[in-house]
């Protein structure tokens, strides 16, 4: 484990990097309204990235859409923030594709959202999600991860149909997971249920299952079965917690927290996250 001194050193480096990034954004916005310097700064970071040190799988918690709507579209329905966030999600997949990142997982709706969101807010959000997935399915292979059974059937069918249609896209492009109606504990519960049903069909008793159960048996029943775990998890909006996102798969992931609300998350923020990841020494618990 890292020493207290090492942990403090990393903490200060992280905060210094975040502060520098925000300062650069503010200064460039004032002196570079056309965005030329901003894009030059972005290209410089990309040029300095070592492709061998980039993550294969990036997961993102696209947080802050509702706060963005309240700040940027006061008096309008919160769906304005969801639409702005969907546009950023589309760009994010394009950025991953440009940088040859093999897989991206994007959390767009949690199981907790069903408890705190009224129907008049949830249904427009589901419309935006379904539109996004159908659009992405024209270019990328899409897999939905989550409990679609919690969704209205019309929206669930749109997601299933788009995912099936997207399978024609072959290798060489970023594979995209859309985490919708997703909760980490929910996923583990569903995995155990699926495992027990499979073992029951094979005629095994609970005692036999308990005596032979391995971690790999549970992994084989997760929503992301057969996929590599995320190397890097990004969360926007300044929140610094996982909230149950990929709690099984992220055990060895690196984390990057960004203050920008998701609709304001730019490519330069993404490549700064990649630069931070590339500078870290991954120990995998050793």
User: Which residues are the active-site residues?
Assistant: 63, 113
**Could you give the count of Cα atoms lying within 13 Å of 152 in the half-sphere of its Cβ?**
11
**What is the biggest distance separating any 2 CA atoms in the chain, rounded to whole angstroms?**
71
3-class DSSP assignment, residue 143: strand
CA-closest candidate to residue 108, choices 221, 262, 255:
262
Please state at what angle helix 36-48 crosses helix 267-278, rounded to 10 degrees: 20
- For 201, the enclosing helix (H) or strand (E) is helix 184-201
Whether the CB-CB separation of 131 and 90 falls below 8 Å is answered with no
């Amino acid at each position: 484990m890292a020493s207290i001194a090492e942990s403090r050193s990393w903490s200060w480096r992280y905060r210094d990097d975040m502060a520098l990034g925000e300062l650069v954004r503010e200064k460039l916005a004032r002196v570079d309204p056309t965005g030329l310097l901003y894009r030059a700064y972005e290209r410089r970071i990309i040029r300095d990235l070592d492709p061998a040190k980039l993550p294969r799988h990036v997961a993102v918690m696209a947080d802050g859409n509702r706060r963005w709507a309240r700040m940027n579209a006061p008096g309008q329905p919160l769906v304005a923030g969801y639409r702005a966030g969907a546009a950023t999600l589309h760009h994010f997949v394009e950025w991953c594709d440009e940088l040859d990142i093999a897989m991206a997982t994007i959390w767009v709706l949690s199981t907790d959202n069903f408890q705190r969101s009224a129907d008049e807010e949830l249904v427009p959000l589901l419309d935006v999600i379904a539109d996004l997935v159908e659009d992405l399915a024209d270019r990328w292979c899409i897999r939905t991860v989550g409990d679609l059974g919690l969704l209205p059937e019309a929206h669930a069918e749109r997601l299933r149909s788009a995912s099936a249609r997207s399978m024609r896209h072959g290798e060489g492009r970023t594979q995209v997971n859309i985490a919708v109606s997703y909760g980490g504990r929910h996923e583990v519960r569903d995995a155990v249920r699926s495992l027990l049903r499979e073992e029951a069909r094979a005629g095994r008793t609970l005692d036999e299952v308990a005596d032979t159960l391995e971690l790999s048996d549970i992994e084989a029943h997760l929503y992301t079965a057969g996929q590599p775990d995320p190397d890097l998890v990004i969360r926007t909006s300044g929140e610094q917690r996982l909230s149950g996102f990929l709690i099984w798969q992220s055990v060895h992931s690196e984390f990057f927290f960004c203050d920008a609300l998701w609709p304001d998350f730019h490519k330069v923020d993404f490549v700064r996250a990649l630069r931070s990841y590339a500078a870290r020494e991954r120990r995998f618990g050793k």
